[in-house]
A and B are shown apart, each in its own frame.
Chain A
Amino acid sequence: MTAPLLEVESLDAGYGPTDVLHGVSFTVGEGGITTVLGANGAGKTTLLRAVCGLIRRRGRVRFGGAAIESKATEDIVRLGLAHVPDGRGTFVQLSAEENLRVGAITRRDRKGVAADMERMYGYFPRLRERRHQQAGTLSGGEQQMLAIARALMLRPRLLVLDEPSFGLAPLIVRDIFAIMRTVNREERVGILLVEQNAKLALELADTAYLLETGRVVTGGPAAQLRDDETIRRAYLGY
């Protein structure tokens, strides 16, 4: 087995003086999909913020072999880690196309950026229709597509997604998950996915972890968690 793309080891993190995460460890394989499940308030969003250096954290985080636990967010992103934050992080006053340009702002290959923008419009035809519209006026689903497209414009090695299905119609959620699968297969982009919709997440992921009050309580191949009786009852509801 090759070295993992993202390796997190005994990570503590939190806001102010309080820790939310306690000794969390997990990995995302090169080109793999890892999902972190958990109830509201388990610390899922905090976990992603800690990985990206948006909040105070302690522990070991390695990305593509480099230690990033004391790097600034901007530098982590420049290594090829794209984060779609919760609430989508849309630049509401910029046009949809400008949002995509911001996603690629650290890149210098103009032609590649233009080609990638076309590729995004291929994935999300709705965005092409709305490219000149102020992004704040897009629907929730469109903004989620925009957020994912913006993150992909970085040409990331790892795509970090915080609840991409939140508040969206099932049809749109299905589209978005299909595109995540495509991106993962065709471009070998690793994905770290935090989801409330455990069923969808476990279908997509190869590895899964369960987070409860800031601790990883179980983890392993997604198929194994899918068949686990307790998880099925508590998170899948059947």
Chain B
Amino acid sequence: MEAFLHQILSGLATGGIYAAIALSLVMIYQATHHINFAQGEMAMFSTYLAWMMIDAGLPYWVAFAGTVALSFVLGVLIERIVIRPVEHAPVLSVVIVFIALLVILNSLAGWIFSYTIKTFPSPFTWEGSQNGYLSPHELGTIGVTLLVLAALFLFFRFTSLGLAMRAAAQNPVSSRLAGIRVGWMLALGWGLAAAIGAIAGMMIAPVVYLDPNMMAGVMLYAFAAALLGGIDNPLGAVVGGFVVGVVENLAGAYVVGTELKLTVALALIIGVLVFRPTGLFGRRYVTRV
């Protein structure tokens, strides 16, 4: 029983990371109706930036804040430089651009930082809590995830900029007619998504270790989470993330074993697409004409 509970709780910890990445996928999907396949590689690259700063001797939380800020800027730049020119291109062209971005970031990381696997520190290492159900790092991950989610909720719900971003995602023409600079809102969305991804990357790296391919598995789970929750629903993505984390852990421990764990994600993706394409919380909006 204790082991079972432990599996569920540590599933929630990794689930939080899937939730964060799924959320950044959903944010970009809502604004542009594209799935950013490079989201995971962006997060991986950000994590390397953090590693570099820590390696240079900066305290963890300074490196953390610096990475989040830098990732935000890089996200905005990627939107402005790479995505903007293909704004009105057919969907396949955009997919190719995303895949190119994925490959470029992956090889760039390998070239700059080498493919050798590195350890990444966790900031949550206090003594004496090892006997509980959760390791300090898992507990910290859950805490950080919840903080990020709460901050995002408050931002989108109560600030004028958050409202402008939501409006721009929903109805670009009407937004322009209200004076909103829609192009910049999209870029900000990319920046935010990159920043969230960076946090997720820094939280998962102590577990999966740091290497250019660290996000491959995580991305699959995040896709499954986003689809499960409904690709156009932020709350759904978060719930989906936690569900996928728990299901993954339980299936790994009791059903298919750790080696076949990744197939759970695939099965989930296919299952959702076949039986409930809108996901658990996705909605078909009825509009009047």
A85 near B178 with CB under 8 A, answer no
In the bound complex, CA of A102 to CA of B166 (Å): 10
Known: A101-B160, A105-B164. A89 touches B174 (CB 8 A): yes
B176 near A54 with CB under 8 A, answer yes
Shortest Cβ gap from B126 to chain A (Å):
43
In the bound complex, CA of A90 to CA of B173 (Å): 10
**What are the residues of chain B within 8 A of A101 when measuring CB–CB?**
160, 163
B179 near A74 with CB under 8 A, answer yes
Interface segment among B34-42, B79-87, B281-289: the answer is B281-289
A98 part of interface (Cβ distance < 8 Å): yes
**What are the residues of chain B within 8 A of A103 when measuring CB–CB?**
178
**What are the residues of chain A within 8 A of B166 when measuring CB–CB?**
91, 93-94
A150 part of interface (Cβ distance < 8 Å): yes
Known: A105-B160, A105-B163. A73 touches B177 (CB 8 A): yes
B167 near A102 with CB under 8 A, answer yes
**What are the residues of chain B within 8 A of A73 when measuring CB–CB?**
176-177
B170 near A74 with CB under 8 A, answer no
Shortest Cβ gap from B289 to chain A (Å):
7
Q: Mark B87-105, 1 if CB is under 8 A from A, else 0.
A: 0000000000000000000
Among the listed A52, A83, A136, which residue makes an inter-chain contact with B288, where contact means beta carbons less than 8 Å apart? A136
B171 part of interface (Cβ distance < 8 Å): yes
Among the listed A92, A106, A136, which residue makes an inter-chain contact with B179, where contact means beta carbons less than 8 Å apart? A106
A91 near B170 with CB under 8 A, answer yes
A154 part of interface (Cβ distance < 8 Å): yes
A140 part of interface (Cβ distance < 8 Å): yes
A225 part of interface (Cβ distance < 8 Å): no
A143 part of interface (Cβ distance < 8 Å): yes
**What are the residues of chain A within 8 A of B107 when measuring CB–CB?**
none
B180 part of interface (Cβ distance < 8 Å): yes
B174 near A85 with CB under 8 A, answer yes
Among the listed B160, B171, B179, which residue makes an inter-chain contact with A91, where contact means beta carbons less than 8 Å apart? B171
A185 part of interface (Cβ distance < 8 Å): no
Interface residues of A toward B: which range? Answer: 20 to 34
Interface residues of B toward A: which range? Answer: 20 to 34
Shortest Cβ gap from B179 to chain A (Å):
4
B174 near A78 with CB under 8 A, answer no
Shortest Cβ gap from A51 to chain B (Å):
12
Known: A102-B167, A105-B160. A89 touches B177 (CB 8 A): yes
Shortest Cβ gap from A194 to chain B (Å):
15
B181 part of interface (Cβ distance < 8 Å): yes
A105 near B177 with CB under 8 A, answer no
A92 near B170 with CB under 8 A, answer yes
**What are the residues of chain A within 8 A of B176 when measuring CB–CB?**
54, 73-74, 77
A77 near B174 with CB under 8 A, answer no
Known: A98-B163, A101-B160, A105-B167. A136 touches B285 (CB 8 A): yes
Among the listed B173, B180, B286, which residue makes an inter-chain contact with A102, where contact means beta carbons less than 8 Å apart? B180
Known: A92-B287, A136-B286. A74 touches B164 (CB 8 A): no
Known: A54-B176, A106-B178. A89 touches B171 (CB 8 A): yes
- Residues 148-194 (chain B) with a chain A CB within 8 angstroms: 160, 163-164, 166-167, 170-171, 173-182
B286 near A87 with CB under 8 A, answer no
Known: A92-B287, A136-B286, A140-B288. A77 touches B179 (CB 8 A): yes
Among the listed A52, A92, A94, A98, which residue makes an inter-chain contact with B177, where contact means beta carbons less than 8 Å apart? A52
A93 nearest CB neighbor, chain B only? B170
**What are the residues of chain A within 8 A of B175 when measuring CB–CB?**
102
In the bound complex, CA of A88 to CA of B177 (Å): 11
B177 nearest CB neighbor, chain A only? A83
In the bound complex, CA of A145 to CA of B176 (Å): 19
A85 nearest CB neighbor, chain B only? B177
Shortest Cβ gap from A164 to chain B (Å):
15
CB<8 Å pairs between A and B, sample of 7: A54-B177, A74-B179, A74-B181, A87-B289, A102-B175, A106-B178, A154-B179
Q: Can you list the 10 inter-chain pairs with the closest CB atoms, starting with the nearest? A: A89-B174, A106-B179, A77-B179, A73-B176, A102-B167, A83-B177, A78-B179, A102-B178, A91-B170, A74-B181
